[in-house]
Amino acid sequence: MRKVDDSLAIWLQQFNHELTASIAADSEFNTASVRAGLATITRTFITDIPHIEMITDDIIENVAIRIYHPQPQTALPVLVYLHGGGHVAGNLEVYDPICRKLALACQYIIVAIDYRLAPEYPYPAAINDVRLCLQHLFSRLNKMAVNYIPYLAIGGDSAGGALAATVCAIEDDKIHINKQVLIYPSLDYTLSLPSVVINGNGYFLQRNKVQWYFEQYFQNHQDRSMASPLWLPIWSGFPSTLVITTEFCPLRDEGITYYHKLCQQGISAQHYHVPDMVHAFLNLENVVPLHCQQLYAVIGAFLKADDTK
């Protein structure tokens, strides 16, 4: 029997009450409120901000990045991290606490990319930003004298997972990605799988909000199936992948289907399913702290395994 975590269920009840009141007031989604909402929730529910010895802001090809090095005197592998937010919200500041925690849990250098957002910059601007950063990343780290191992992983949550998976699906001789981490990723822009309906209301991320996000991202009548990582071909150089899903997430089935597709194609893949969580629970850390700690540990274990081979 499906059951939401008790602490989360209490919080969800209040959230859904406020959401109902907002709908009754005829409050529609808009860019400013969605961006402020993600920032406020993350700031409110992630209050433990760990110290990282080296944090540096820089620019690669006109794209802002932030580098987190947990041991500046030690050469470590690199994880490029792409934040969530439906391609509309999120930035380096909002995801700063999560990147800090990833750096410590994984013992990787985290490079967060401040890719361009819709609706100001629709598809495929964000993908282009990420690819440019990846193509020039190691040369930039060399110029900055960052102590690193030239071993590259990429990861992201939600829309950031979509960007990561999209980049991994593109054959590019200037980019070699060894591992991929997808946290409750958005992989099907057609929203065609059952969990979109099953979990589309009452579990934090609403189906109509996802639809609104995609309307901002795709503005030129693109074929959304051709843009969806779930439906893109898997090539021989695809990285080893960890797919993380949650039971009460509208995007659940996309991640599960993607994992099985990778396995069928002979790609090394792992699937970690959280049976009592919702989408974006890392941003709700104070509500479900043990679940967040466990997830960081799972990601760290995956990235540390054979991480210099």
Tell me, what DSSP letter sits at residue 16?
H
Candidate from 25-39, 105-119, 212-226, 228-242 with smallest mean pLDDT: 25-39
pLDDT of 26 higher than 80: no
Within 13 Å of residue 196, how many CA atoms lie on the same side as its CB? 15
- The 10s digit of each residue's pLDDT in 155-188 is 999 999 999 999 999 999 999 999 999 999 999 9
Q: Which domains does the chain have, with CATH numbers?
A: 6-304 (3.40.50.1820)
Largest CA distance in the chain: 56
Q: What confidence category does residue 309 fall into, taking pLDDT thresholds of 50, 70 and 90?
A: very low
User: Is residue 57 helix, strand or coil?
Assistant: strand
Give me the residue label for tokens 């992201």. Answer: 156
pLDDT in tens, 31-90: 999 999 999 999 999 999 999 999 999 999 999 999 999 999 999 999 999 999 999 999
Task: Report the percentage of the chain scoring pLDDT > 70.
Answer: 97
Would you state the pLDDT for residue 20?
Answer: 84
